[in-house]
Amino acid sequence: MQFYSTNHSAARATLRDAVVRGLAEDRGLYMPEVIKQLPDTFWDEMTDLTFQEIAYRVADAFFGEDVEAEALRRIVNDTLAFDVPAVRVEEHIYSLELFHGPTLAFKDVGARFMARLLQYFISQQATDGEAATVNVLVATSGDTGSAVANGFLGVEGIHVYVLYPKGKVSPIQECQFTTLGRNITAIEVDGVFDDCQALVKSAFMDKDLNAHMRLTSANSINVARFLPQAFYYFYAYAQLRKLGLTGDGSTEDRRLVVCVPSGNFGNICSALFGHAMGLPVKRFIAANNANDIFYKYLQTGHYEPKASQQTIANAMDVGDPSNFARILDLYGREDIVQRLQQHGYVQPMPSLTDGRLGGTFITGATYTDDQIAETMRTCYAQTGYVLDPHGACGYRALKEQLQPGETGIFLETAHPAKFKDTVDHILGIDLPIPEKLQAFMRGEKKSVAMSKTFEEFKDYLMNQ
């Protein structure tokens, strides 16, 4: 399959080139030329399939033309060596627990898949006599760094540089990528997440750096990172369908509402790709913290990126979400809200604005730290379920927007213990720390301190 750039001025790329480059030459994000519809037989069979079997069918639609079937199945099975259960929180509301992987966060899925796919392509290049170390640059506001670092740890032919904002990730998150060593280098940037992301993007565009070393990204700008996240949306639907909670999947009988805590928008973007493949979701909700750029876009039709605000849901502290470009491209690269208003779909309300994107009903929500904390306390008191700050945004949006007859599922994107200090303080409990996290905390921190200037970052990489 060929991949094009959202800026539409770079040459088409193969899957291998798109994965290895990360970002297109014109600074656009790669998009697959074709989004294949899954066959009717898939929907008939899916409730009897395992997570791995469902994921393989979805992966084959995106990657099957470029990766041998046996290798792709192995990549999927190795990636998904853990479950992603849909857990009932209360009547009509379920949590999709994405924290059962190695680093206890949803990004384990995309990061592990990308690591294995990139290794597959590197081994092919070695056979062709083109082997060279691939250097992965990844900016993180929290969970991305730990998932990518651990997904690539020890992978031959790959070195990972994790850029993170000083003092703006939780101590446990920081331990997960600063204590590994080996082929993982942590860079502590004196700035915010958007500064880290800007350094990564600038590096891709720098001719000197690209002549010196092979660079790619493991952020959700990379197609091999964000597309595999579609896997668990299909699995969530299969689990709830088995319980009889989704309707029959027809346009007239769709009951499932999916709420995605959103920061850089790679996660909800993969959900929208799943919908384009036929996933019968009735509505999507993008739940923001105080970084409400997408929410305001749905209200006003104007996209106005701004400096990110630090919140207790730190993995969503993004003021200029990269994957917004993919959402625009997916729906025709026109002003979505203007088109929706012409068709009477956008009607501003006191707390939210609704819009229908190409047949997908999508809404926004935004919450302050106080509202997030209140939601965590209320949910714990009423149900006993412990939310992390990000999942709390998704849970609250469902509580506010779910309609009679609908079933809602929100993404619990990370284990609450990754934010232990915050969770303990809000709920007044002493949350146990899983052994997986304790093991990271026993390690020694190793990081490179750096300013947010590109000149210093470039000079560092040029000397590696």
> 268 with 316: CB under 8 angstroms?
no
Q: Classify 198 as helix, strand or coil.
A: helix
Name the strands in the sheet holding 86-90, side by side, starting at the edge strand that comes first in the sequence: 86-90, 93-97, 407-412, 256-261, 283-288, 360-366, 354-357
Per-residue pLDDT of the chain (464 residues; tens, 9 = 90+): 999 999 999 999 999 999 988 889 898 999 999 899 999 999 989 999 999 999 999 999 999 999 999 999 999 999 999 999 999 999 999 999 999 999 899 989 998 999 899 889 888 866 555 557 889 999 987 778 888 898 889 888 899 999 999 998 888 889 999 999 899 999 999 999 889 989 998 998 899 999 999 888 887 888 999 999 999 999 999 999 999 999 988 888 889 999 999 988 899 999 999 998 999 999 899 999 999 988 888 877 778 888 888 899 988 988 888 888 898 888 764 444 454 444 333 333 222 233 434 445 788 999 999 999 999 999 999 999 999 999 999 999 999 999 999 999 999 999 999 899 999 999 999 999 999 888 888 889 999 999 999 999 999 999 99
What is the pTM for the complete model shown?
A: 0.87
Domain residue ranges of the chain, discontinuous segments joined by +: 82-104+226-427
Residues 6+ apart with CB under 8 A from 133: 157, 158, 159, 213, 214
Tokens, residue 135:
């250097």
Q: Classify 261 as helix, strand or coil.
A: strand
In whole angstroms, how far apart are CA 13 and each of 10, 18, 31, 302?
Answer: 9, 6, 10, 31
Q: Classify 406 as helix, strand or coil.
A: coil
Best CATH choice for the domain 82-104+226-427 from the list 3.40.50.1100, 3.50.50.60, 3.30.1330.30, 3.30.470.20: 3.40.50.1100
Q: Which amino acid is at 326?
A: R
Pairing state of beta strands 93-97 and 407-412?
parallel
